[in-house]
């Protein structure tokens, strides 16, 4: 039996209504809130690179156990058939010169290097999470601003087309406004792509599915003591007057806290302990053996025997390893000086960038945005009264939105500058 298309449509409609009644669509759940602190804590706990760094501590612990081990005794038998002499003894080698303790010292120093490397990984991942989170939050704001920007460009294009219809403007002006609208849409599309990439990177840092989404909270405004009690900046920082700024104090903080320098110092400590170990290995070990001695008779005789042996240190077989370790120490000292210079440069650059970024955000907050909003507010009243053309009003709206976009970028630059300063100092601000 064939069913007409009219009845098919009715049956489909009835089935859809029944399905909606039985299985109503639930409202889309809001994504869970993910504050910046929680994102950082999650990354510190779940990040694979951090987990791998912590796992190395177990390797160091095993190496410490290995360094503590002593040589096992040897059971031996020495039999002389012709002499009818039979010996069964135990032989043990005793390490002299404190070799075992110095091996343990080297292993512990290696563990301290690993701990410094873990701290460097933590600081690096924390800075990256902060950078990606704040950039993602500002990108979300920029997406909304670009939506407004596209709307105003389309309104300007529509106004131009209307004026062209009344022969008030040339076609070139219409084309120019349409090109601006297309460019605004393309920029909005680029922001969407950047948001997707930022979400993927943030989720990878937190070791979560790359498709996961969360509601982000505005990063708290930071009051940074290093910025002269956070007083307003009237003009951009002049680094030629760096002696008036706390650069030296910041460099001292960085020299005490930068994990790269701590890692290098711990490696030098390992080298020093390796030199002590190699020197202790010049001392020969003592080997002792003892046991019963049976001589078959007649008459049978039972005695005890003792044997001691020690290698003669005629040749110094440790001079090569010692010389290599001392040369490695000189290299590390040179690297330390280079790292200290790099740290000083990092602090100077990060401080200048932070000052400049703060100056930019304050300029937008105190001057550019208030003025742009005042212009739009004034034109809005005149536009409603018919005193100005729509194009003038929409151009003012476009200027305001563009200023808000620039302000959003300035906020991103400021948060990036804070992350760079944290990395330069080796501490959290």
Report pLDDT digits (tens) over 215-261: 888 765 544 445 544 444 444 444 444 444 578 888 999 999 999 99
DSSP string, 352-367: HHHHHHHHHHHHIIII
pLDDT tens digits for range 44-72: 999 999 999 999 999 999 999 999 999 99
Residues 95-106 as b or e (16 or more Cβ within 10 Å = b): bebebbebbbbb
Supply 246's token pair. 């706390």
pLDDT at 166: 61
pLDDT tens digits for range 287-322: 999 999 988 888 888 889 999 999 888 888 888 999
Residue written as token pair 């030098």: 268
pLDDT tens digits for range 218-227: 765 544 445 5
Residue 130's alpha-carbon distances to 56, 80, 124, 212, in angstroms, are 26, 78, 10, 18
pLDDT at 83: 80
How many Cα atoms are found within 13 Å in the side-chain-facing hemisphere of 346?
Answer: 22
Distance CA 19, CA 214 (A): 31
pLDDT band at 386 (very low <50, low <70, confident <90, very high): low
Higher pLDDT, 301 or 428: 301
pLDDT tens digits for range 278-288: 999 899 999 99
Query: What percent of the chain is modeled with pLDDT above 90?
Result: 38
pLDDT band at 167 (very low <50, low <70, confident <90, very high): low
Is 90 exceeded by the pLDDT of residue 389? Answer: no
Distance CA 97, CA 108 (A): 19
| 85 DSSP β-pair partners | 80, 295
pLDDT at 102: 93
Q: Can you list the domains of the chain with their CATH numbers?
A: 34-304+326-425 (1.20.1600.10)
| Beta-carbon contacts of residue 277 (< 8 Å; ≥ 6 apart) | 99, 102, 103, 105, 106
Sheet of strand 85-94: strand arrangement = 74-80, 85-94, 286-295, 301-310
pLDDT at 230: 45
pLDDT tens digits for range 58-112: 999 999 999 999 999 999 998 888 788 889 999 999 999 899 999 999 999 999 9
Element (H, E) at 124: helix 99-165
pLDDT band at 426 (very low <50, low <70, confident <90, very high): confident
Beta strand pairing call for 33-34 and 215-216: parallel
Query: What percent of the chain is modeled with pLDDT above 70?
Result: 80
| Beta-carbon contacts of residue 350 (< 8 Å; ≥ 6 apart) | 417, 420, 421, 423, 424, 425
pLDDT band at 400 (very low <50, low <70, confident <90, very high): confident
Question: Between the ranges 268-272, 297-301, 372-376, 380-384, where is the mean pLDDT highest?
Answer: 268-272
pLDDT band at 168 (very low <50, low <70, confident <90, very high): low
Among 14-18, 220-224, 314-318, 327-331, where is mean pLDDT lowest?
14-18
Residue among 193, 192, 213, 191 at smallest CA distance from 202 = 213
Asked if 156 and 179 count as a contact pair (C-beta separation under 8 A), the reply is: no
pLDDT at 190: 86
Q: What is the pTM of this model?
A: 0.73
Residue written as token pair 């070990």: 285
User: What's the mean pLDDT when you consider all of the chain?
Assistant: 81
pLDDT band at 141 (very low <50, low <70, confident <90, very high): confident
* The Cα angle at residue 168 between residues 166 and 171, in degrees rounded to 5: 90
* Mean pLDDT in residue range 380-408: 77
* Mean pLDDT in residue range 115-119: 92
* Mean pLDDT in residue range 380-405: 76
Distance CA 89, CA 310 (A): 18
Residue 260's alpha-carbon distances to 47, 98, 129, 247, 290, in angstroms, are 20, 32, 20, 20, 53
Residue among 131, 145, 132 at smallest CA distance from 405 = 145
């Amino acid at each position: 039996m064939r069913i007409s298309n009219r009845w098919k449509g009715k049956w489909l409609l009835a089935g859809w209504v029944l399905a909606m009644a039985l299985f109503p669509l639930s409202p889309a759940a809001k994504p869970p809130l993910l504050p910046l602190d929680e994102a950082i804590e999650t990354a510190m706990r779940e990040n694979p690179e951090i987990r791998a760094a912590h796992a190395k501590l177990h390797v160091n612990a095993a190496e410490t156990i290995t360094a503590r081990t002593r040589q096992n005794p040897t059971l031996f038998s020495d039999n002389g058939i012709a002499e009818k002499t039979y010996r069964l003894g135990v032989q043990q080698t005793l390490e002299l010169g404190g070799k075992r303790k110095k091996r343990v010292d080297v292993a512990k120093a290696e563990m301290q290097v690993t701990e410094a490397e873990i701290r460097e990984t933590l600081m690096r991942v924390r800075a990256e999470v902060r950078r990606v989170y704040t950039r993602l939050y500002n990108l979300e704001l920029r997406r909304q601003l670009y939506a407004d920007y596209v709307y105003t460009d389309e309104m300007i294009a529509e106004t131009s087309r209307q004026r062209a219809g009344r022969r008030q403007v040339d076609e070139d002006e219409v084309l120019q406004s349409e090109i601006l609208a297309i460019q605004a849409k393309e920029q909005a599309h680029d922001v969407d792509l950047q948001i997707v990439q930022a979400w993927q990177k943030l989720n990878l840092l937190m070791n979560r599915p790359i498709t996961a989404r969360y509601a982000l909270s505005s990063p708290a405004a930071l009051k940074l003591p290093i910025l002269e009690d956070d007083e307003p900046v009237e003009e951009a920082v002049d680094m030629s007057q760096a002696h008036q700024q706390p650069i030296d104090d910041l460099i001292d903080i960085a020299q005490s806290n930068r994990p790269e320098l701590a890692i290098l110092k711990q490696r030098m400590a390992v080298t020093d302990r390796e030199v002590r170990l190699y020197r202790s290995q010049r001392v020969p070990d003592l080997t002792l053996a003892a046991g019963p001695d049976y001589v078959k008779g007649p008459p049978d005789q039972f005695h005890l025997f003792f044997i001691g042996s020690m290698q003669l240190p005629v040749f110094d077989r440790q001079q090569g390893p010692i010389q290599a370790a001392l040369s490695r120490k000189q290299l590390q000292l040179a690297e330390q000086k280079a790292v200290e210079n790099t740290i000083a440069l990092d602090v100077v650059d990060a401080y200048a960038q932070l000052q400049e970024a703060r100056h930019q955000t304050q300029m937008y907050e105190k001057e550019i945005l208030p003025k742009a909003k005042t212009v739009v507010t004034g034109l809005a009243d005149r536009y409603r009264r018919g005193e100005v053309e729509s194009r003038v009003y929409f151009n003012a709206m476009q200027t305001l939105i563009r200023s808000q976009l620039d302000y959003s970028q300035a906020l991103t630059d400021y948060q990036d500058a804070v992350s760079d300063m944290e990395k330069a100092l080796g501490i959290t601000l």
